[in-house]
Structure 1
Amino acid sequence: MAGDSHKKTFLILTVFISIIAVGLTVAAFSTDNWVTFTGSKSNNTGCDKNISDDACTTYGSFGLFRGDNGINYYFGMRLRISQVICTDGWCTYYTVRTEETLDTEAGKDYIKNISSIYTETKDSGENVHEWEYGLFGFGYWVSILVMLSLGIVWGLVTISFTVFNIFGKPIETITGPLGLYLWNLLGLIFMSIGVILFAVLFQTNFAENVLPQNDYKYHTFRTESSLDYSFYFTVGSLVGFLLNLVLLMFSGYSVRCACTQEANKAIDNGIILY
């Protein structure tokens, strides 16, 4: 009995950790602080710092779907909003002034125009990159969303089956110890893939530039970016799944067929049908 109580204590801990892990990923989806940035004009012509401390500067942050930023071309800070819009295999954070309406169709037309310029420039032999035009791959972005979503799914499955193991008597191997290891391992794998994919996207597309192409090129703004707390929420979720696996190992829960135990109990109780 003491052994069963010891195991259940560890299972209860894994339930709480799984709830936290799922909550962190949901919070990451719903917050817009995956990347934060500040910047200024590399060519400060016309930028008189005596007029304003934020003359010719920019700042902002964005998440998986939208963002907020401000930019000062010298005429005062302009507040703007961004939204991820995708078409023709490309995505971008389409940006407008806060008093304007984010038009999806206008955003798609913008992507088509910018991607066409990027393709022509690349085909002409110039050494250009997607980030210079504020573009990133649609398939890559969707892969990040799918991996993180599957992390949430396996987290919920982990919670359900762990609670079942605490209060019930699983008779199938997959619903017993093997399942607990499997669900947590799957959660760890998918969360790890999602985190790594976004980290790579940041290094290849956002570390150099997060501004729309007209801000980056025509107004010569340059930004310094860093990963923000929404991203680290997913890292915390990943650690949660890993911690669950460690707790399962220390709990004494071995991977064995639960149905064998139930059959032995039936024999011990003399419940045998001839």
Structure 2
Amino acid sequence: MVYGLWIATIVMMGAAIVFVLVAAMFAILNTATNPVETLTGVVGLYVWNGIAMFFEFLVLVLWGVQFHQHLRHNMLWRDEIEQAWSTEGMASLGYSYWLVFVAMILHAVNMAILWFGTHQKRPKKVQIPIERGNTNAVNMIY
């Protein structure tokens, strides 16, 4: 195993988790208040989710490279390989790899929902017609 790739995968996954927590915190803040700063408002939600997606993508790439270079071949100790044991063709990426992919897709869905929620058409204001010939005191404007 290439330990540099392994450590980089762990660091990138940690960074992704941090930005997921930041995005969740600002999403809660946006539901409770209406922040005016860019990184705490709706634009910030795009930024934090996008950064989390980026780090999750890096995790997928790094672990995919590690798997295809080393992990899909024999995963045994040298002594076991010398005794003619083999795990060739038995390795798979597993659920945890695909759950990171699902998390990345969910961030994209979250950003799409944000976009649809903030770019919806506003209803037109309905104007109430004013009757001009009515001399009723009710319609007096001060």
| The two structures share one fold, judged by TM-score above 0.5 | yes
Q: Is the 8 A contact 1:162 1:180 kept in 2?
A: yes
1:221 paired residue among 76, 85, 108: 85
User: What one-letter code is carried by the residue in structure 2 that aligns with 1:252?
Assistant: T
Structure-2 separation of matches of 1:240 and 1:227? 20
**More helix as a share of residues:** 2
* Alignment of structure 1 residues 205-216 onto 2, 5 Å: 205-216=70-81
1:155–1:187 CA contact under 8 A, matched in 2: yes
Determine if contact 1:151/1:190 at 8 Å carries over to the other structure. Answer: yes
Partner Cα separation in structure 2 for residue 146 and residue 155 of structure 1? 14
1:80-115 Cα deviation digits (max 9, x unpaired):
xxxxxxxxxxxxxxxxxxxxxxxxxxxxxxxxxxxx
Mark the runs of 5 or more structure 1 residues left unpaired by the alignment.
1-135, 255-274
Give the total of aligned pairs.
118
Query: For structure 1, which segment, 200-209 or 225-234, has the greater mean C-alpha deviation from structure 2 after superposition?
Result: 225-234
Question: For the aligned residues, what is the CA RMSD?
Answer: 1.5
Distance 1:236 1:228 in 2: 13
Kindly indicate whether the alpha-carbon contact (under 8 Å) linking 2:19 and 2:49 is maintained by their aligned counterparts in 1. Answer: yes
Q: Deviations over 1:107-143 (max 9, x none)?
A: xxxxxxxxxxxxxxxxxxxxxxxxxxxxx22221110
Pairing partner for 2:109 from 239, 243, 265? 243
For the residue of structure 2 that corresponds to 1:225, the secondary structure is coil
Structure 1 moving runs of 4+ over 2 Å: none
Aligned ranges for residues 1-274 of structure 1 at < 5 Å?
A: 136-216=1-81, 218-223=82-87, 224-252=90-118
What's the TM-score once normalised by structure 1's chain length?
0.41
Percentage of pairs with the same residue: 29
Whole-Å Cα distance in 1 between the matches of residues 111 and 74 of structure 2?
Answer: 39
Q: Distance in 1 between matches of 2:95 and 2:86?
A: 22
Between the aligned partners of 1:231 and 1:193, the Cα distance in structure 2 is: 12
- Runs of 5+ unmatched residues, structure 2: 121-142
> Aligned-pair distance for 1:167?
0.8
2:20/2:49 contact within 8 Å kept: yes
Residues of 1 paired with 2:76 and 2:119: CA distance?
A: 51
Q: For 1:173, what is the secondary structure of its paired residue?
A: coil
What SS does the aligned partner of 1:208 have?
A: coil
- Report the TM-score, using the length of structure 2 for normalisation: 0.77
- Is residue 177–residue 253 contact of structure 1 (8 Å, CA) maintained in 2? no
Answer with 1 or 2: which has the greater Rg: 2
CA contact (8 A) 1:151 1:186 kept: yes
